[in-house]
Amino acid sequence: MTTRKMGDSEQALVEIARRVLPAGGFGNMPQETIIREGRGGRVWDVSGNEYVDYLLGSGPMLVGHAHPEVNAAVIEQVGRGSTFFANNEYGILLAAEICEAMPCAEQVRFASSGTEADAYAMRLARAWTGKSKILKFEGGYHGMSDYALQSLWPSRAGNSEAAVADSAGIPASVGGEMLVCPYNDLEAAKQLIHKYKDELAGVIVEPMQRLIPPAKGFLEGLRALTSEYKIALIFDEVVTGFRLAYGGGQEYYGVTPDICTLGKVIGGGYPLSAIAGKAEIMAHFDMAKVGTAGFMPQVGTLSGNPIAAIAGLASLKILKRPGAYEKIHATGRAVWAALDKALKEAGIPAIVLGEPVMFDAIFTTRGSITDYRGTLDQDKAMSKRFNDAARANGVFKSDGKIYISLAHDEKDVADTAAAFTLAAKVAAEAVPA
């Protein structure tokens, strides 16, 4: 592993980006790194620097970059046309595969992004119940809609159910339709659900919230409470779907929601998302079944796009093979152990949090973290030093998550361990006196 160097062509692109893009980028990763290509578990930037990639396009590339089988499927479809705004073979087959895989899925509707899928899922809960409020959990990410951007990243944790908008441009009235409580606090959720049962349409939750696994009985408790009052339980599985297990978080944790949203993995690296759920609820997309008053229109130019659908089908075929998930989890445990060891040896206080397929270090002296509030006292300066040093030494990751792929191999793990050791040493030595 060598320290990253920026060439003239990459620097020129950075300068153009600063001129034509707000804040110089797409709003995602640090703008000074411009990726040229990816293969397997690695990516290369425009300057030719090589990285072990744990960003994976923010998760979609679970089988690795440019997988030959996925590429072949996409190339085959490209020759037949890119999109039709009509039913196509591969979109139908992908919907059938989702229904087979996801315990809650009896029917599927496609969209193009996780933001769309989550927004439609909340609307679907309202259509089904005839009620308006949605309960979400503090720090839970459900896309970029006005409703989702409530109490996602408040700088201070609240002590009431009132939602706080996370963005300029959101009407104050939107917050009045959202209720918020801490993740993993079943008693707080129970109190809110009882209090607002006559107004509450749905509860939306990531079964694993960002990096925080559910506490024992938490998801089961939500399932029981929502069933009691005929409130829709929505699992946002845009991240966890087909990642924790083939049947997603609902299979992995053994709790079946009424509705789930999917994205990332199901598009194989192309824009695709889905809303899936019980036929009774999904009927609100069908005017013939629910009439004009109950109908929920949903149209998207690229919804069910055949290129994304065939890429998704090819990816799922690879993931269904015996041993795939065992390998992903085993690789994740090895990378987790390397990260934990590097931080401990450098004397850096931290918790490695998550599940083997998706985790990261939280730089804190806390003994445990069970909700968003527990992340607020982390050492952000230390986090930045470590993550900057990891990228400089050949590990490409975000500042808050490590995604593991089926393509990562033993060399990737060994190179990552070496980079983490160097990064931890750099981060520890840079602590101000």
Beta-sheet pairing, 232-237 with 200-205: parallel
How many Å apart are CA 310 and CA 90, to the nearest integer? 6
Question: DSSP 3-state assignment of 228?
Answer: helix
Between the CA of residue 374 and those of 91, 179, 180, 208, 392, what are the distances in Å? 41, 20, 16, 15, 29
Is 252 catalytic? The answer is: no
Between the CA of residue 146 and those of 116, 165, 222, 422, what are the distances in Å? 11, 8, 24, 41
If you write DSSP's letter for every residue of 31-72 in order, what string do you get?
TT--EEEEEBTEEEETT--EEEESSTTTTT-TT-BT-HHHHH
Is 185 catalytic? The answer is: no
For residue 385, give the nearest of 336, 417, 432, 430 by alpha carbon: 430
How many Å apart are CA 289 and CA 308, to the nearest integer? 29
**Active-site residue identified among 141, 147, 246, 372:** 141
Beta-sheet pairing, 232-237 with 273-277: unpaired
How many Å apart are CA 121 and CA 282, to the nearest integer? 10
- Beta strands across the sheet bearing 351-355: 351-355, 358-362, 402-403
For residue 320, give the nearest of 386, 245, 208 by alpha carbon: 245
Strand ranges for 65-224 from DSSP E: 107-111, 133-137, 178-181, 200-205
How many Å apart are CA 408 and CA 262, to the nearest integer? 23
Q: Contact at 8 Å (CB) between 214 and 250?
A: no
- Beta strands across the sheet bearing 200-205: 107-111, 273-277, 259-262, 232-237, 200-205, 133-137, 178-181
Is 317 catalytic? The answer is: no
How many Å apart are CA 215 and CA 285, to the nearest integer? 34
Q: Contact at 8 Å (CB) between 368 and 221?
A: no
- CA 420 from centre of chain: 24
Residue 311 CB burial class (10 angstroms; 0-12, 13-18, ≥19): buried
**Active-site residue identified among 45, 185, 236, 379:** 236
Residue type, 103: P
**Active-site residue identified among 264, 360, 372, 415:** 264
- Residues with catalytic roles: 141, 236, 264
